[in-house]
Chain A
Amino acid sequence: MYTLAMDTSNQAMSVAVMHDTTLMAETTINHKKTHSEQLLPTIKTLLAAAELRPQQLDRIVVADGPGSYTGIRIAVTTAKTLAYTLQKTLVGVSSLAVLAAGVTGTKALIVPVMDARRQNVFAGGYQWIDDTLTNVIADAHLPLTQLLKEVQVLKQPVIFVGADVVKFAPDIRATLGAQAGFADALSAYPQARRLAVLGQHAKPVSVFDFVPRYLRLTEAESTWLQTHHDEGHEPYVEKV
C-alpha cells in the first residue's frame, strides 16, 4: 500500500510517502512560507523522489486538526481533492495524535498541546497500549487550567508535547509538579511518517463530506447561538 501523508496544522509542514510501513520519502519544512505555496510542490517532489505517479497512491492521509484554521484547510482541501479526483482512500487523523505519536518508548500519558489563545489550548490525551497509540482523553478546546486539573486527578506520569508547551511550562509545573514531564524540543514538529502509519489503521472517510476538526465554532456562530436556535433553518449552503 502506497500512502501519502500530509500535515499543515501549524507552522511546520510535514509530508511523507510510505510503502506499507517503509518510509520512501519525507520532507519537513519549518520556515515562514505559506503552506499554500509549499504543500503541492513538496508532494510533487516527494512522489518524483519515490518514483511514483499520483495514480499509484492507494491512500491519502491528512492531519485534519485541530490547529491553525487556514493551515488545516490547506492540507484537508489538498487531501480531499486528491483522493476524490484520483479515486483513492481518504483518511483523517487528529493533528494532536500526530504529535503524540512522535513520543515513543513510554507508557506515560502523552498530552499534545497547541495554543488556542486567551489561556485556552487544543489538547488531548494519548497512550501507547499494546504498541498502538490510543486516545484516552478526547481532543478538545479548553482552558489550560481545566486541562491541568483533568490530568492531575489521573495521578499518573504525563509527558507534554508541542511547540507551545515551552510557553505553558511554568503553569504546568506549578499545578502538576513532578507528575509532569516534557518531550524534547524536536518532538514538537509533526512527522508525516508517523501520521502515515496512524492513517493506515484509521477508518476511511467520505471525500465529499470530510471537513477539518476545528474543535471550535467560529466567533460569529457562537455569538449568534447565544440568541438564536440552530434548528429548522433553511440549508446554509444551497446549490442554485
Chain B
Amino acid sequence: MSQAELILAFESSCDETSVAVIKNGNEILSNIIATQINSHKRFGGVVPEVASRHHVEQITTVVDMALKEAGVDYDQLDAVAVTYGPGLVGALLIGVTAAKAIAFAHDLPLIPINHMAGHIYAARFVKPLQYPLLALVVSGGHTELVYMPAAGEFEIIGDTRDDAAGEAYDKIGRVLNIPYPAGKEVDRLAHLGQDTFHFPRAMAASDDLDFSFSGLKSAFINTVHHADQIGEQLSREDLAASFQAAVVDVLVEKTLHALQAYPVAQLVVAGGVAANQGLREALTAALATSAPAVELIVPPLRLCGDNAAMIGACAHIELAKKHFADERLNADPGLNFAHA
C-alpha cells in the first residue's frame, strides 16, 4: 500500500469531546478538542449528566471540524476508532454511538480503544516506541504503572489503592480554594514555595509498586484545619510545594523500583498529571542519576490531557492486528488492563 493510512478517532470518556484524523499512527492531521471545564467549574468537579449533555450537543460539530481541518473525506479513511472505556458511561456512550454510526454509514472497520492505552500512545507523536517499555499513567482517575512487553500489550504492575494522583490534587485544591481542576495552579504555587511540612510519603517504604494518596490528603487537610482552628495563617505556596513534593517523591520512587524490576529502554509518562512541571523535572533528574540508560518520553502538554489524537495513534496498532468491533459495541466504564 503506497497510500497513507488514515484513522478517524473519537474520545468522549470524561469532559472533553474530541475527534482527530491521524495519518500512519504518528501524524496529526487534526485533533479538535471541545473542553467542558468552564461548565464543570461551576460544580467543583465533573457532573456526569452535564458532561453527557455537552457531548451530544458538540459531537457532530467536532467531527465536522476534524474532517475539514484534515481535508479528508470518508472514502480516504481506513477505519474509525473510539474510546469505549474506562470513563463515565454516559459520556463514553456518545463517542461510541457516533463512531459506530459513522463506521456503519461508510462501511468502515470500527476499532475499540482503551482510554489508558490511548494515553500511553500519545508518546508515539514524540518518537517511535521500543518494546518492552514502561509507562507511568497519572490522571484525575488513574495512577498506574504499566508494563508493555510488545505493541498493544499492557500489564498493570502498580496501581493506586485509593485516590488517583489527580484526584488528590483536586481535593487539596478545594481546601486551598483553588477552582477545579486544581492541578495547574497547585503546580504553579508549588514552584513558589518550599517543602516545609514534610507530609508522609505513603507506601514509599514498601516493596510493591502500588500507590496510595489518601494518607497524604488527610495529613494535608488536618494541617490546614488545625491552623485554621488556632488562627494561624499558613503559606499556600509552602503547602502546595510540600504536597507536590510528597506526590512526586512517591511517583518517582515507585517508578524507579519498577524500572529495576522491569528493565526497559523507554519510560513513557502519560495522562493529565504528566503536564505537571514538578513531576517532569523530578523524573528527569531521577533518571539522570539512577537510570541514565532509560529514555524519558513525555508527550507535549496538549496531548497529555484527554484528546482523540492519542486514540488514533493507539488504533494504528489495533488496525494492524485487525482488532475490530461490530455495531453492538457498548461502553465499558470499568474497562481495565489486566494485572501482571
Contact = CB atoms under 8 A, between A and B. Distances in A.
Interface of A: 34, 36-41, 43-44, 54-55, 69-70, 73-74, 76-78, 80-82, 84-86, 207-209, 211-212, 214, 218-221, 224, 228, 233-240
A85 B105 contact: yes
B58 A240 contact: no
Interface of B: 17, 32-39, 42-43, 47, 49-50, 52-54, 56-65, 74, 89-90, 93-94, 96-98, 100-102, 104-106, 326-331
Contacts of A34: 330
A67 to B, nearest CB: 14
A77 B331 CA distance: 14
B75 to A, nearest CB: 12
Contact of A224 (B17, B43, B56, B58): B43
Given A34-B330, A41-B328, A239-B32, A81 B38 contact: no
Given A36-B96, A37-B330, A238-B34, A207 B60 contact: yes
A78 B52 CA distance: 14
A78 B97 contact: yes
Given A220-B47, A221-B50, A239-B32, A81 B93 contact: no
B70 to A, nearest CB: 15
Contacts of A41: 326-328
B104 A40 contact: yes
A230 to B, nearest CB: 9
A189 B68 CA distance: 41
A207 B56 CA distance: 11
Given A80-B56, A81-B59, 15 more contacts: A37-B328, A54-B104, A70-B93, A82-B104, A85-B101, A207-B60, A208-B60, A211-B56, A218-B49, A218-B53, A236-B36, A237-B34, A238-B38, A239-B33, A240-B34
26 contacts: A36-B96, A36-B329, A39-B97, A41-B328, A70-B52, A73-B56, A73-B93, A73-B94, A77-B98, A78-B100, A81-B97, A81-B101, A82-B105, A85-B102, A207-B60, A208-B60, A208-B64, A212-B53, A218-B53, A220-B47, A220-B49, A236-B38, A237-B34, A237-B36, A238-B34, A238-B37
Greatest chain B CB density within 10 A among A77, A82, A224 is at A77
A36 B333 CA distance: 13
B326 to A, nearest CB: 8
7 closest pairs, A vs B, by CB? A236-B39, A81-B101, A40-B327, A77-B97, A220-B47, A84-B60, A81-B98
Greatest chain A CB density within 10 A among B36, B50, B62, B74 is at B50
A77 B330 CA distance: 14
Contacts of A81: 59-60, 63, 97-98, 101-102
Contacts of B42: 220-221, 224, 228
Contacts of B39: 236-237
Contacts of B32: 239
A39 B330 CA distance: 11
Contact of A44 (B33, B93, B327): B327
Contacts of A84: 60, 63-64
Contacts of B36: 236-237
B163 to A, nearest CB: 22
A218 B50 contact: yes
Contacts of B34: 237-240
Contacts of B328: 37-38, 40-41
A233 B49 contact: no
Nearest to B61: A208
Contacts of A36: 93, 96-97, 329-331
Greatest chain A CB density within 10 A among B52, B74, B89 is at B52
Contacts of B329: 36-37
Greatest chain A CB density within 10 A among B53, B89, B93, B101 is at B101
